[in-house]
Chain A
Amino acid sequence: MARRAAIVATGQTHHRSIRRDVNGQELINEAVMRCLEEGELTIDDIDAVLIGNMDHFEGINYVDCWSVDGSGGFMKPTIKLTTGGTTGSTLGIAGYHLVASGAFDRVLVIGWEKNSESDTTGAINTAFDAIWDRPFFAGAIAGLAVMAQTYAHLYGATARDAARVAVRDRHHACLNPYAHLRKETSIEEVLASPMLADPVCLLDMCPRTDGACAVVYAAEGIAEKMCSQPAWVHAVASRHMYSYISDADTGTGTMISMERASAELYKKLHIKEPRKKIDVIEMYQPFSWAGLMWIEDMGLCKKGEGPKLVWDGATDLGGEIPINPSGGVVATNPIGATGLIRCAEVALQIMGKAGDRQVPDVNLAIATGFGGCAWTDLLAYGKKKPT
Chain B
Amino acid sequence: MDRAAIIGIGQTKAEGRLKEFNYAELVYPAVVAALEDAGITIDNIGNIVTTSNDFWDGRTISSMATGDVSGAWDRNISCVEGDGAFGAFYGMCRVLSGHYDTTLVTAYSKGSESVSAYITNAAFDPIYIRGLGLDMVSACALQARRYMSRYKISEEQCALVSVKNHRNGLDNPNAHLKLDCSLQDVMNSPMICDPLKLYDCSPISDGAVAVIFANQKKAKKLGRKPVWVKGVSLCMDTYLLGDRDLAECAALTKAAKKAYQSAGISDPRKEIDVAEIYDAFSYQELMWTEGLGFCDRGGGGRLIESGATGKSGDIPVNPSGGLLASHPVIAAGLIRIAEAVRQVRGEAGRMQVKEDVRTALAHGVNGACGQSHCVWILGRE
Contact = CB atoms under 8 A, between A and B. Distances in A.
Interface of A: 1-2, 48-49, 52, 54-57, 59-69, 73-84, 90, 93-94, 96-98, 100-103, 123-124, 126-130, 236-244, 247, 260, 264, 371-373
A97 B123 contact: no
Given A68-B236, A96-B97, A240-B72, A54 B78 contact: no
Nearest to B89: A79
A82 B49 CA distance: 11
Nearest to A71: B236
B93 interface: yes
B372 interface: yes
A98 B53 CA distance: 21
B251 interface: yes
A372 B66 CA distance: 12
Nearest to A1: B98
Interface of B: 1-2, 24, 53-55, 58-69, 72-82, 86, 89-90, 92-99, 119-120, 122-123, 125-126, 233-240, 250-251, 254-255, 366-368, 371-372
Contact of A54 (B60, B67, B93, B367): B60
Given A372-B61, A372-B63, 10 more contacts: A60-B126, A61-B53, A62-B123, A74-B238, A75-B254, A90-B78, A94-B78, A100-B96, A102-B2, A129-B65
A83 B78 contact: yes
A82 B79 contact: yes
A101 B61 contact: no
A279 to B, nearest CB: 24
A100 B93 CA distance: 8
A48 B77 CA distance: 21
Contacts of A103: 89, 93, 96
Contacts of A80: 80-82, 86
Contact of A82 (B63, B74, B126): B63
A244 B86 CA distance: 26
B73 A64 contact: no
Given A74-B237, A75-B251, A101-B94, A65 B123 contact: yes
Closest 6 CB pairs of A and B: A65-B367, A84-B61, A101-B96, A77-B234, A100-B97, A1-B98
Contacts of A98: 90, 93
14 contacts: A1-B98, A61-B122, A63-B81, A64-B236, A65-B368, A65-B371, A66-B125, A75-B250, A79-B80, A80-B86, A84-B64, A90-B79, A127-B61, A242-B67
B58 A126 contact: yes
A216 B79 CA distance: 20
A96 B65 CA distance: 25
A93 B79 CA distance: 11
Chief secondary structure at chain A's binding surface: mixed
Nearest to B239: A68
A237 B46 CA distance: 12
Nearest to B59: A126
Given A84-B60, A123-B60, A243 B67 contact: yes
Contacts of B366: 62, 64-65
Contacts of B1: 2, 101-102
Contacts of A66: 123, 125, 239
A84 to B, nearest CB: 4
Contacts of B68: 242-244, 247
A77 B120 CA distance: 22
B238 A68 contact: yes
A25 to B, nearest CB: 9
Contact of B65 (A2, A63, A243): A243
A254 to B, nearest CB: 14
Contacts of B59: 126-127, 130
B64 A56 contact: no
B98 A59 contact: no
Contacts of B81: 52, 55, 63-64, 80-82
Contact of B82 (A54, A62, A84, A126): A62
A373 B86 CA distance: 25
A97 B64 contact: no
Most buried by B among A73, A103, A244: A103
A97 B99 contact: yes
A101 B97 contact: yes
Nearest to A122: B60
A68 B89 CA distance: 19
Nearest to B233: A77
B316 to A, nearest CB: 27
A79 B123 contact: no
A1 B1 CA distance: 11
A263 B154 CA distance: 62
A294 B256 CA distance: 47
A138 to B, nearest CB: 15
A65 B96 CA distance: 26
Which of A75, A236, A247 has the most B CB atoms < 10 Å from its CB? A75
Contacts of A100: 96-99
Nearest to B97: A100
Nearest to B72: A240
Contact of A75 (B62, B63, B77, B237): B237
B236 A83 contact: no
A175 to B, nearest CB: 32
Nearest to A134: B59
A59 B60 CA distance: 10
A206 B67 CA distance: 27
Contacts of A93: 78
Nearest to A124: B60
A260 B60 CA distance: 25
Nearest to B63: A83
Nearest to B86: A79
Contacts of B237: 68, 74-75
B60 A127 contact: yes
B64 A243 contact: yes
A62 B120 CA distance: 9
